[in-house]
């Protein structure tokens, strides 16, 4: 029979006393391993609340976080994620979750301390601590983005839809609540009077973050480990590198396969062997709902490979005409090679007769020297972008001159981007009212 929460509180108190007297971490891990590993994210806030109520200093309780997180990782590595190498995308996600769990436990601790504040000064101190933790937690979006963009597409390709949608919904809920809490803390004028409301909001957020860590570590990551091939993980690592991390990446994992993106998975069927390796929760969902793999072929026979996707020439022309900007491109020899005409906003008059024309001759003589100087500066690398504002009748136009370079930095040409920003400039307040935080 498992220990009750109160029993776990007593064990944790004994552990903290051992920590205080200088016991080694390895000694404590041996002595308290079973109890600490059994503490779930759902129980953490309850235990911390009891410890704060008994006047145990927050600084002492925070020492427990490192120990709990370390044991949690060891349990994962020995069971659910056995064999995951250092530097592997899953290893990095687990390490990020360790950091997130520490931050959520700190959030819970300071929230409990704020709730039990006995003076305005004490409440102010805990409010500032909460602000710091919330500021750190804002980086959590980077962690979620990697999962949403790097992991979920491989599940969806195999027909596993419900789990990614539910998890993304929970992650989005955390981001919204984090934003709300940050606003509440900044606007708090009397934290002592508002301590109950602020603490409740912070505790609720800490609980939800802890639950997500638990679901990811125990369900999502083991399922991904069972499903994805070495090539798929190679592609995931590239995506992760693009998005960034909230922990230091010290280990260089080198996959033994070429990257495979979701659309390149030709037979996205979950095998019986893969299903057997999955966590019971995921296996039950799949067996109850069944799977319909996504076998859609996105690349057409005549599509152009644009590096970030594929388009037919017909699609490309239609997309360029649908952009709210117009562009003109001159090659390395300053000859106009291409321009667009937007259906949404008209910029400067351009016609097919400018193809092959020297770029400075596309402007009136009074601007020729400015055009030449700007292009030369961009070509030489003195600057990457030049910005100009002008009027065209009653319209306010922004013009960007951008250097176009290859991945190796080789100069290829110059791009002029023309954008009508009249509404933004003249109706600033109305535009601000339309802003929705996504």
Q: What confidence tens digit (pLDDT) does each residue in 397-413 have? A: 999 999 999 999 999 99
Dihedral of the alpha carbons of 364, 368, 374, 377, in degrees to the nearest 10: 160
| Mean pLDDT value of segment 187-213 | 93
Q: Specify the DSSP class assigned to residue 404.
A: E
> Is residue 89 a contact partner of residue 216, using CB atoms and an 8 Å limit?
no
**For residue 89, what pLDDT is reported?**
97
- Cβ neighbours for 320, distance < 8 A, ≥ 6 positions apart: 327, 340
Instruction: Look at residue 79 and tell me whether its pLDDT is greater than 80.
Output: no
Instruction: Look at residue 65 and tell me whether its pLDDT is greater than 60.
Output: yes
10 Å CB burial of residue 437 (0-12, 13-18, 19+) is: exposed
**For residue 242, what pLDDT is reported?**
96
| Mean pLDDT value of segment 131-141 | 97
Instruction: Look at residue 354 and tell me whether its pLDDT is greater than 50.
Output: yes
What backbone torsions phi and psi does residue 207 show, to the nearest 5 degrees? -65, -45
CA angle 82, 86, 90 (to 5 degrees): 65
| Mean pLDDT value of segment 63-85 | 69
Instruction: Look at residue 49 and tell me whether its pLDDT is greater than 80.
Output: no
Instruction: Look at residue 97 and tell me whether its pLDDT is greater than 70.
Output: yes
Instruction: Look at residue 44 and tell me whether its pLDDT is greater than 70.
Output: no
| Mean pLDDT value of segment 331-359 | 93
**For residue 170, what pLDDT is reported?**
93
Instruction: Look at residue 46 and tell me whether its pLDDT is greater than 80.
Output: no
> Is residue 378 a contact partner of residue 415, using CB atoms and an 8 Å limit?
no
193 vs 55, higher pLDDT: 193
Mean pLDDT, the chain, whole residue set: 89
pLDDT-above-70 percentage for the chain: 92
**For residue 37, what pLDDT is reported?**
67
**For residue 71, what pLDDT is reported?**
62
* CA nearest neighbour of 29 among 83, 79, 82, 72: 72
**For residue 1, what pLDDT is reported?**
47
| Mean pLDDT value of segment 423-437 | 87
One fold for both 5-288 and 312-433? Answer: no
| Mean pLDDT value of segment 64-87 | 71
CATH fold of 5-288: 1.20.120
| Mean pLDDT value of segment 246-267 | 94
**For residue 133, what pLDDT is reported?**
97
* Of the options 3.80.10.10, 3.30.70.1560, 3.30.450.20, 3.90.79.10, the CATH number for the domain spanning 312-433: 3.30.450.20
* Cα 213 from chain centroid (whole Å): 15
**For residue 35, what pLDDT is reported?**
73
What backbone torsions phi and psi does residue 425 show, to the nearest 5 degrees? -75, -45
105-119, 243-257, 276-290, 416-430: least confidently modelled range: 276-290
173-182, 341-350, 378-387: least confidently modelled range: 341-350
What backbone torsions phi and psi does residue 119 show, to the nearest 5 degrees? -155, 165
Counted residue by residue, the chain has a size of: 438
| Mean pLDDT value of segment 339-357 | 91
Would you place residue 86 in the very low, low, confident or very high pLDDT band (cuts 50, 70, 90)?
A: very high
10 Å Cβ neighbour count for 304? 13
27-36, 78-87, 131-140: least confidently modelled range: 27-36
Domain ranges of the chain: 5-288, 312-433
Full-model pTM: 0.83
Instruction: Look at residue 277 and tell me whether its pLDDT is greater than 70.
Output: yes
């Amino acid at each position: 029979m498992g220990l009750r929460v109160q029993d776990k509180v007593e064990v944790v108190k004994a552990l903290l006393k051992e920590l205080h007297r200088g016991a080694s971490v390895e000694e404590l891990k041996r002595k308290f391993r079973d109890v600490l590993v059994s503490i779930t994210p759902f129980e953490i806030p309850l235990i911390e609340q009891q410890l704060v109520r008994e006047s145990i200093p927050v600084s002492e309780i925070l020492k427990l976080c490192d120990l709990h997180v370390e044991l949690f990782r060891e349990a994962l590595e020995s069971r659910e994620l056995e064999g995951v190498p250092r530097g592997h995308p899953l290893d990095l996600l687990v390490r990020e979750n360790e950091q997130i769990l520490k931050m959520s436990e700190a959030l819970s601790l300071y929230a409990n301390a704020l709730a039990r504040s006995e003076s305005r000064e004490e409440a102010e101190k805990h409010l500032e601590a909460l602000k710091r933790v919330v500021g750190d937690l804002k980086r959590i979006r980077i962690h979620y983005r990697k999962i949403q963009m790097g992991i979920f597409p491989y599940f969806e390709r195999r027909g596993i839809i419900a789990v990614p949608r539910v998890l993304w919904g929970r992650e989005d809920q955390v981001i919204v609540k984090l934003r709300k809490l940050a606003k509440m803390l900044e606007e708090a004028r009397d934290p002592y009077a508002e301590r109950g409301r602020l603490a409740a909001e912070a505790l609720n957020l800490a609980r939800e973050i802890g639950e997500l860590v638990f679901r990811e570590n125990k369900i999502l990551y083991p399922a991904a480990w069972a499903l994805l091939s070495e090539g798929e993980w190679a592609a995931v690592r590239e995506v992760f590198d693009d998005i960034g991390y909230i922990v230091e990446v010290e280990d260089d994992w080198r996959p033994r396969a070429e990257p495979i993106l979701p659309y390149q998975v030709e037979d996205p069927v979950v095998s019986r062997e893969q299903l057997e390796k999955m966590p019971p929760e995921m296996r039950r969902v799949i067996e109850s709902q069944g799977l319909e793999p996504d076998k859609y072929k996105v690349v057409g026979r005549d599509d152009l490979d644009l590096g970030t996707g594929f388009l037919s020439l017909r699609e490309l022309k239609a997309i360029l005409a649908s952009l709210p900007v117009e562009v003109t491109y001159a090659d390395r020899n300053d000859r106009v090679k291409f321009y667009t005409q937007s259906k949404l906003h008209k910029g400067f008059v351009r016609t097919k007769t400018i193809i092959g024309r020297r770029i400075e001759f596309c402007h009136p003589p009074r601007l020729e020297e400015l055009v030449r100087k700007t292009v030369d500066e961009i070509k030489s690398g003195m600057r990457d972008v030049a910005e100009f504002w002008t009027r065209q009748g009653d319209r306010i136009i922004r013009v960007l001159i951008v250097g176009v370079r290859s991945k190796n930095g080789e100069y290829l040409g110059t791009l002029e981007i023309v954008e009508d920003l009249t509404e933004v400039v003249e109706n600033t307040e109305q535009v601000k009212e339309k802003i929705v935080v996504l």
